[in-house]
Chains A and B, each alone.
Chain A
Amino acid sequence: AQTVTQSQPEMSVQEAETVTLSCTYDTSESDYYLFWYKQPPSRQMILVIRQEAYKQQNATENRFSVNFQKAAKSFSLKISDSQLGDAAMYFCADLTRGGKLIFGQGTELSVKP
C-alpha cells in the first residue's frame, strides 16, 4: 500500500534559524514524484518543492531544500533562514505513475520572532 508518514505533528523554529521536517513514504513503484506543500491559515495549498524520484540530485528552491534518500524512502525538507511567513502546515506527498496522490498527516510549523 502507498503510504506517507510525517512523524512530527508540530515543530518550532527561531526566526533566521534552520529547521528540518521529516517525511517517509512507502511505494512499490519505481517511478514517482514527491512534493512538499505549504498550507497557511487560508487553507490554500502552495507548492514548496518537487522531486522526481529518478533524479538523484536533491531539489532546491531558494531557502528550501530536500534530502532525498531513495533507498531509505525518506524525503525531508530543510528550511534555512526561517521567516515568520514560513509558519504554516506542511504536507509531504507522493504521486505515482498510476495517478494516486497520497499526503502525509502534516507538520504544523511555528516560527518564533
Chain B
Amino acid sequence: DVKVTQSSRYLVKRTGEKVFLECVQDMDHENMFWYRQDPGLGLRLIYFSYDVKMKEKGDIPEGYSVSREKKERFSLILESASTNQTSMYLCASTETSTGNTIYFGEGSWLTVV
C-alpha cells in the first residue's frame, strides 16, 4: 500500500538542465515537504506546503522552486541544475500539524554531471 510516491528514483541530468521531481500522496494530506539528504548534514528542508498553491521556504530554498497545483501533488523544480545539487531528495506528507504520522517517499537520487 504505497502512500507517498516519488516518480523518479534515479536521475542523471546535465548542468543547466531544468529538473522536475514529482511527489504524489494518496491520503488527502494538507502538508507536504521536500528535503535533501547529504552525508553529515541530515535532512535539510527545502520547501514545504500546507495547502494547494501555498508554499513556504525551508532552510535551503536557493536554486529550487516548488509547485502545488493539486492537493495530492507537490513538485520540486531545479530551474538550472548544478553539480552541487547532486543529492538524495526525499518527499514527505502529513495530515495537518497535529503530529500525526508522517509518511515518506522512497527518495529520488539525482546526479548532476
**Which residues of A pack against B, CB within 8 Å?**
6, 9, 32-33, 35, 43-45, 47, 50, 52, 91, 93, 95-106
Contact = CB atoms under 8 A, between A and B. Distances in A.
Consensus secondary structure, chain B interface: strand
Given A35-B102, A43-B107, A44-B104, A96 B41 contact: no
Contact of A98 (B33, B35, B97, B102): B97
Given A99-B48, A104-B42, A47 B106 contact: no
Contacts of B88: 43
14 contacts: A33-B99, A35-B102, A44-B106, A47-B102, A50-B99, A91-B42, A97-B97, A99-B96, A100-B48, A101-B33, A103-B43, A104-B42, A105-B42, A106-B42
Interface string B75-93: 0000000000000101010
Contacts of B58: 100
Nearest to B41: A105
Contacts, number: 60
Interface string B50-62: 1000001011000
B59 A102 contact: yes
Which 5 pairs across A and B sit closest by C-beta, in order of nearness? A33-B99, A105-B42, A103-B43, A45-B104, A99-B97
A55 B95 CA distance: 21
Contacts of A101: 31, 33, 45, 48, 92, 94, 102
Contacts of A45: 90, 92, 102, 104
